[in-house]
Structure 1
Amino acid sequence: MDISINGEKADITLESEKNIGEILAGLEYWLANSDPRYNEGFRLSGLSIDGHVIGADSLEDSFNRDIDSVDSIDITILSLAELVAEALLDSRQAIDEFNGCDFAGKRVFAEKWKTSPAALMISEESPDLYEIILNTFSGVGISVDGLTAIIDERLRELEFPAKELNDMNPVITEIAGRLEELPLDIQTGKDRRAAETVSFFSGIAEKIFRIFKLLKIRGFPVDDIRVAEILVSDYIGEFNDVIKELLQAYEQQDSVLVGDLAEYELAPRLRGLYAALNISSTEAA
């Protein structure tokens, strides 16, 4: 039996599988070991048996079909990154629909959007973005122009993670410098600037973590990177712990600890992580 995935013949050796359902059940393991794009998950989006497209109403019956009665299977799947990109594009279109609503329509738009497939996907994979979109559609968040800019940024991350990372260089330089200045800002009463620095840094760190995950999905050799002799995955874990400690100290108004963590821990860690990831992704691109 010939098995194709997204139109390409798949080198799958059947062992004890007896029906179509068992073949599909083993697909996750095969994909995870053959294509890094699917390591973070995938979903079945289409199935054809012997050239006949299987509809949703007959999908379950097809799972029970004996493989001895089948000559060919064509499976269509989407990676997690592709599914998220699709959800973001759908949300982009939802913004246009929202703008076209009258006052009454805008009042109920958020509830309608919450039940859409795009909203469900984004709530699972990007809870922070889900809240931003929902708040805008509820009339209590950022402007639709601001929301559009955020969605476009996430789409660029998905499509060109290495370029998006490289383009962050001036931002990294600025925020690392501001982290080193944070103790002085706190001491001299520049509370607004200090709050902006903490918020700005938190967002930049989250963006780096997102891009790291996307680079892995796209097959960039980032798992072997070492930062200060520490494997990058462990380094990110430690980095994230220090970020949580900073945010907790900031909420508790522990200005001494906030200043020390920002200047002596987070600024050098940010520079080191960014440099290591950027060099690796640029060389592999």
Structure 2
Amino acid sequence: MNLTINGEGAEITLESEETLGELLSGLEDWLAGSGYSLSGITINNEKISAGSIGEVFDRKLSEIDVLDIQTSNLFELLLEALIVARDILEAYREAAFDSRQEIQQDWEGSAAASFLSHRNPELFGIIDAALSGEGLSPDQVLALTDERIAEISAPQQALLQLETIIDGVSQRLEDLPLDLQTGKDSRATETVQLFSNITEKLFRLMAYLNSRGFEFEYQGDSGATFDNFFEGFDATIKEMLAAYEAKDAVLVGDLAEYELAPRLRLLFGILKKSAEKTV
């Protein structure tokens, strides 16, 4: 079998794989680790779209003479899926009530829904619920998809718009010990949620910038790299959230004020410096 990836020769050694499904399942994990995903295949000059690949999983490799595997960047596929989701949400919002079920069914059978359900199940669930008349309203989910589309399309601009928000959340983290001590539980809960949301957004933007070749400059103590800094920051976030769930107010307050607030400011500063280089 002549095997290529995006038309280029590929050195892939078959082991015990006998069917196309077995081969592609192994390749998908490897592709994901490289930031790519399967977007289509061509079998003996017959093109198969991503949405129809499951129909040929049982095809015997011994029956295939030429196989070309098409791949696409995961973030590009995510952007395409979000644009489709946005169009469907707009159609759903504007449609008469008796037409909405058909739109929902179109969504459920779409390649965009399949991609999001595997790659971003949380976001898929939010969109799916809105199209079922549950959860957030279509307008609210449209605003969310617009935000995510903007992050992927223009990560530099999206990042640079966050400076005031980062300052505000950092200050809230520094205030968290006092809020916990004085019984301002609702404000404390809001602070933790705000911090969680903004760090998730920063992590997404960091990934999008990195995929475009941006480098993050950091030189810590004893030669610590940016990866070292990020791993420590991520571990401290998990420690604080675990302490919050355990209602350990002292540890939550200490971590928020002395560890997370300064590290949040530092992370944003590192990303901002990188993003500003070509804006």
- The interval holding the TM-score normalised by the smaller chain is 0.7 to 0.9
1:118 to 2:112 alignment: yes
- The structure 2 residue matched to 1:147, chosen from 141, 149, 164, is 141
2:37 match: 42
Distance 1:234 1:63 in 2: 47
Q: Is the 8 A contact 1:165 1:208 kept in 2?
A: yes
Residue identity opposite 1:260 in structure 2? D
Retained in 2: the 8 A contact 1:179–1:263?
yes
Counterpart secondary structure, 2:135: coil
Q: 1:162 aligns with which of 153, 156, 163?
A: 156
Aligned length: 260
Paired AA for residue 35 in structure 2 = E
**Where do residues 166-181 of structure 1 align in structure 2 (5 Å cutoff)?**
166-181=160-175
Matched residue, 2:275: 281
Q: Secondary structure at the match of 1:189?
A: coil
Q: How far apart are residue 63 of structure 1 and its match? A: 10
- Structure 2 stretches lacking a partner, 5+ long: 14-19
Letter in structure 1 aligned against 2:90: D
TM-score by length of 2: 0.74
The AA in structure 2 aligned to 1:40 is G
Q: What secondary structure does 2:113 align onto?
A: helix
CA shift in 2, pair 1:158/1:244, >3 Å: same
Tell me what 1:218 maps to: 212
RMSD in angstroms over aligned alpha carbons?
Answer: 3.8
Shift of 1:46: 7.0
Q: Deviations over 1:217-261 (max 9, x none)?
A: 112224x64456532233222222222222222223222221111
Percent of aligned pairs sharing the same letter: 35
2:131 counterpart (107, 129, 137): 137
More divergent stretch after superposition (119-128 vs 262-271): 119-128
Does the 8 Å contact 1:109/1:138 carry over to 2? no
After superposition, where does 1:10-89 map in structure 2 within 5 Å? Answer: 39-45=34-40, 54=47, 77-89=71-83
Q: 1:249·1:257 contact (CA, 8 Å) conserved in 2?
A: yes
Does the 8 Å contact 1:39/1:217 carry over to 2?
Answer: no
The code of the aligned residue for 2:153 comes to E
